[in-house]
Structure 1
Amino acid sequence: MMVAWLEESVGLRPKDEYFDYIVTNKNIDLETEIKCISFSGGVADYIYYEGEIQDYFKYGDIGIILGQAIKNSDLCKKLKVVKSIETIRATVVGAGSHTTEISGSTITYTKDSFPIKNLPILKLSLEDESQGAYELETALKKKIEWFRLENDFQKIAIAINGKKNPSFKEIQEYAKGLVNGMKDLIEKEGQLIVVVENDMAKVLGQAIYSLLNFQKEIICIDGIKVENGDYIDLGTPIADGKVLPVVIKTLVFN
C-alpha cells in the first residue's frame, strides 16, 4: 500500500479513496510531466543498494523492506532515478521523536498562540544558570548569537534545568536573567518560550510575565528534558486547557 500511494502521488496509477488521507501537506502538481525521481533518507539507502541483504530487520523497522519494494516498483522502472550526491540519512521526524503531555495547571501560558512547530532549542549549561541573574543574562546574550540570521534572530525556545525547590529569590534571579538576556528577541517576537526540566514553570512564568509588565506573551513549561540540537512542537491545549501536547525531535544520539 505504501509503495502504491507513492506511485499514485506521481501519477503512475489512479488515486484510490485513501490517498487524500496520507497527504501531510499538499499533493504534487501533476500538470507538469515528471521525468525523474530521487530519494533521500534512511530508506533511500536501500532503494539504491545493490548488494545482498542479510537482515531485513537490521534497524528494527520496515525501512529496508520498504526501500526494496520501492526499488522494484514502477517508481524506479518507469521514471529515471537520479541519485543525489549528498543525501540526508534520517529526517527530523524519522530520526527520533518523543511525544508527551504535560499538565496545563502547572505551567504558564498567557495567550492561545498554539500550535507552535519546529522551535530550535537553546539549552543553557548548569554553570550558566547557577551564578545569578547577570551571569544568566550574559550567557544568553552570547549564545543567542548562534541563532542570528543576518540582522535578525531565529525564533527559539530557551531550555534550563531549573531547581527542584527554588526559593523566591532564586525564581526572581532566573526571571531577571531570562528577560534581560532575551530582550531583543522578546521585542521582535513579542513572546518568550522557556522549557524547564524541573518543576517550577508556573511560578517562573508568572515572575517573567510580571517583569514584562504583563505586555508580552509568555509560555513556560516544565517536566521536559531537551538538549541543544533538539526541536520542540507545542500542540494546541486540550481538555479545556488542562493538557498540553509536546513533541521533542532530535537528530543527536548517544
Structure 2
Amino acid sequence: MVRDAAETLCSVGIDVGTTTTQVVVSDLTLQTPAVDGAASVEVLDRTVRYRSPIRETPYADGSTIDTDAVLAFVDRELRSAGRSPADIDTGAVIATGEAAKTRNAEPLVDRLAERSGEFVVATAGAAFEAVLAGRGAGAATRSRTEGTTVATVDIGGGTTNVAVFVDGTARQTRCLDVGGRDVQFEPTGTVASVADSVRDHYDAVDALSDAPATHRRLAAWQAERIVDCVEGPPFDPTTEALAIGSLPSKAPPLDEVVFTGGVGRLVADGEVAKRDPYAFDDMGVRLAAALREHHRFDALPVRESATDIRATVIGVGTHTTTFSGRTIAVDASVLPVRDLPVVTVGGLDAAESAASVRQRTLQAIETAREGDAVGEFALWLPSIGPLTYDRVSVVAEGIATAYAAAVEADAPLVALTGQNCAKVLGQTLAASVGSRPTILVDELELDDARYVDLGAPVANGTAVPATLKTLVFDE
C-alpha cells in the first residue's frame, strides 16, 4: 500500500471592496490518500504566505472602478509575493459591497480571474461574502472545535454581512445595505455624498447637514439596524427594508459575536469614541463608536477576532475551494469549467424507471432554461436512491436519453452528486452518450449555491477542486 502523500496548491485571494482592495497568497496543503485508500481529499493546512498592503479601491468615477489601476495593483502584488499567474493553482476574486454594484464589476473580476491563474474564479454576492469573512476570521473553525454557535458581523464600506455558524457549518446569512461609506465627507467635514440606502430609509435624511450632531444621529440609526440584524428575528421593518436577500424567521441563540471588516476593526477599539470622527472621510469611526455605545451592545457575547479587516480576503484565498470525493469520472480535456448554473434534478430517488428519470431531468432543464441556464450547465443530483447496479443503470439511461433529446450533441454532461457514486454513474453514462464529454463528481454539499466552477484533477487525478458560489452582481 502506498502511503499518503502531501500535495500543496498555491492559492490567491483578491478582494475588490467598496473602500479597499487586497491580495493574499496562500498555500493549501492537501491530504493525498493512497490510491487504494478510502479517505477523501482534505485540506490539512491553510497558510497565508503573503498579505498585500491594503489599498484604497480606485474609482474612475462614482459608478465605475478604475480597472487598469486594480489590474496593475494585483500584478504588482503577485510579483511582490514571488508568484506569477503560472504558479497559481486555485483561488478567487470577489467584488464586495458597493463595488459589486458598479457598472464594470463583473467584467473586472472576470479579467482578474482570467489573468491570475488557471483556476482562479470570479465571485460576488453578499451572502457568499458573509460566509467567507466568517471562515477567514476563524469563526467557522472555532465553532466546529468548540461546538458553539458563532455570528460574524462583517461591516465594510457598503454592506454589513452576518454569518451564523453552528458546529462549524454556515447555517444563516443576514445582509444589510448599511456600511461605513453610507455618507462620505470632504476633508472639511462637509457632506460629499449620501448612499441611496440612507436617502430611501433614513427619515431624517432631509435634516442631514454638515453638523456633527446630525452625523452622530445617523450613526446611531445605522448601529440600531446592525444590532437588530444580529439579535433578530423578529426584525424592525426598517431593518427588513434594508436587507439584501431574505432574513431568517428563526435563529439559534448565539454563544459568540465577532466583528470583522474595516468598521469591525474599529469596533474592537475601546477608545474609538476619542478618535477623529472624520479620519477616513466617511461614517466608519462614528458607526463603530455608535455600536459600542448602543444600549444593547454589552449584552452581546462579543469576542475579539484575530483577523478583522482582512477576514474576507483571507476567506477568499483559503476557503473558496473545496474538493470532490475520490470516485470521480471526468473528461479532463474540458476542464476547467467556470460559471456553470446549477440545475437541480429532484426526486430521482423516487423515480422507478428510466422514463421517469428522463421526464424529471427534462423538466429541470426546461425550468432552468427559463432562467439563466442558456448555455452549459451542471446537473445537481442530491440523491439517486440506493447505489445498486440496477439503480445506477436506470438513472444513467434516463439522464442520457434526456440529454439526447434536449442538449446539443457536443455540449458536455456535467453532473454533481451528494452521494459517493460519481465513478460508477459516470462510467455507465459514458457508455450511453457516445462522444459527449462527461464530468461526474461526487460528495459535494451545494447548500444554496447557484453556480459551480470545476478545476483540473488533483490528488493523483482522484479528485477535482470545486468552487460553489452565488455569483450575484448588483444585488
Give the TM-score normalised by structure 1.
Answer: 0.65
Paired residue for 1:210? 431
Residue type of the partner of 1:6? Answer: T
Q: How does 1:61-80 map to 2 (within 5 A)?
A: 61-62=260-261, 64-65=263-264, 73=280
Paired residue for 1:81? none
Q: How does 1:27-42 map to 2 (within 5 A)?
A: 42=160
Paired residue for 1:125? 346
- Per-residue Cα deviation, 1:104-151 (whole angstroms, up to 9, x for no partner): 5x110123211111211111223575332111111221221223269x
Residue type of the partner of 1:45? Answer: V
Paired residue for 1:100? 322
1:157 paired residue among 361, 372, 378: 378
Q: In the comparison of the two structures, how many residue pairs are matched? A: 216
Q: How does 1:45-194 map to 2 (within 5 A)?
A: 45-46=178-179, 47-48=181-182, 50-52=218-220, 54=223, 60-62=259-261, 64-65=263-264, 73=280, 99-104=321-326, 106-126=327-347, 130-148=351-369, 153-163=374-384, 165-184=386-405, 186-194=407-415
Paired residue for 1:4? 55
| Mapped partners of 1:133, 1:16: distance in 2 | 54
| Mapped partners of 2:158, 2:261: distance in 1 | 16
Work out whether residues 153 and 185 of structure 1, in 8 Å CA contact, stay in contact via their aligned partners in 2. no
Runs ≥4 in structure 1, deviation > 6 angstroms? 15-18, 55-59
The offset of 1:212, in angstroms, is 1.3
Does the alignment pair 1:219 with 2:455?
A: no
Work out whether residues 100 and 247 of structure 1, in 8 Å CA contact, stay in contact via their aligned partners in 2. yes
| Mapped partners of 2:403, 2:469: distance in 1 | 23
Identity of aligned residues (%): 18
| Mapped partners of 1:181, 1:108: distance in 2 | 20
Structure 2: 5+ residue stretches without partners: 1-19, 22-53, 60-64, 79-92, 94-107, 113-156, 162-176, 184-217, 231-256, 268-277, 284-314
Residue 193 of structure 1: SS of its match in structure 2?
Answer: strand
* 1:75–1:7 Cα change, 3 Å: farther
| Mapped partners of 1:193, 1:220: distance in 2 | 6
| Mapped partners of 1:211, 1:167: distance in 2 | 18
- Per-residue Cα deviation, 1:180-230 (whole angstroms, up to 9, x for no partner): 1222554254310111111111010001000013x1100011101225752
Paired residue for 2:450? 230
Give the TM-score normalised by structure 2.
Answer: 0.38
Work out whether residues 348 and 385 of structure 2, in 8 Å CA contact, stay in contact via their aligned partners in 1. no
Work out whether residues 162 and 200 of structure 1, in 8 Å CA contact, stay in contact via their aligned partners in 2. no
* 1:170–1:17 Cα change, 3 Å: closer
Q: What is the CA RMSD across the aligned residues, in angstroms?
A: 4.3
The offset of 1:247, in angstroms, is 1.4
1:243 paired residue among 463, 467, 475: 463
| Mapped partners of 2:282, 2:259: distance in 1 | 25
Residue type of the partner of 1:208? Answer: L
